[in-house]
Amino acid sequence: MSGVTYAEAPTKIILSGEHSVVYGFPALVMALDLKVGAAVEVTERDSIIASSPGLGSYELDLRSSIGKGDLRLLPAVEVARHIMHKVGGRGGFNITTWSRAPIAAGVGSSASSFVSVASSCFKALGHEPSKEETFEAAMVGERMVHENPSGVDVQIAISGGVIRYVRSKGFSPSSIRGDIPLVVVNTGKARRTGDMVARFRTTLERGGDAAKLWLEHIALLTSYVERALEHDDLNLAGVLMTSNHLALSFFGVSTPELDEIVYKSVELGALGAKLTGAGGGGSAIALAVGDISNMVLEGMNQLGYQSFKAKLSNVGVKCWQE
């Protein structure tokens, strides 16, 4: 097919339920309007080339399976190769990816990139994929980046909106649809999710009844946050989010930087704030309405943190051709 095929997918944050989800409780995951995209051209060469600003490029020869270039782009190439085999296309792909969201900020940029690559590659070959096919293809890359991903980052990039995830039951859509204005603040500190999961587990095992109560508190907060947002009660949602952060701090997964962001955001007028994701670094979110969001942005910048506004995206991945 001629021309260029484009796709964009939303990124995400966890509104509530991180860590407790490991123990069978629900997590609320929200799609952000900060998009990650891909542009794909079908070529006559038997190779797949992926490039991205700041990462360089990687090329895979489909005949020899020999590749060269920046290995960080290999997962995107493998997503494309999976699709080439599935659809039975000939030739190869030129893929360019980009992001309107910061990399390594805990907003699921990698999954969104793989969903965009998958959607655009399918469409470039004239195949309209089902959501299941897109999910399967994007997970090829996601498994290369994360050892044992739940798939929730890929799912939210495909569907948009807010989804509830329970390990034993999988994904289900939430009825939350209203505006949720957030400021996402990146600590700039890298962390390993596995280390934070282990720290949470150790505290739970050693903390006795108090730790069990805090765990149940987080689970209860998740259901209350969902209910508050379903009714557009941002004031209540903000209070619950800050309480969620305090509970996560009990388990040792917060950091001085995350605490500083949360407390300073509330001091500046945010309705609430919390770490999002595994903790130990990564990002925090502040629920900030109107001009307060600008005050929080300015305050975070003065503290030396990268911050940006984001809202709920009710639209998942979009794909088009030019």
Q: List the catalytic residues.
A: 153
Q: How far is CA 179 from CA 47, 53, 310, 312, in A?
A: 43, 31, 10, 6
CA dist 83 → 93, 112, 199 (Å): 11, 17, 38
Which run of H or of E encompasses 298? helix 291-302
CA–CA dist 320, 98 (Å, integer): 16
Helices 74-87 and 131-145: angle between axes, nearest 10 degrees:
150
Helix, strand or coil, per DSSP, at residue 221: helix
Q: How many CA atoms lie within 13 A of 302 on its CB side?
A: 10
Rounded to whole angstroms, the Cα distance separating 32 from 12 reads 5
Q: 275 forms bridges with which residues in the sheet?
A: 284
Cα dist. 149→90, 111, 140, 274 in Å? 31, 10, 11, 23
Radius of gyration of the chain (CA): 20
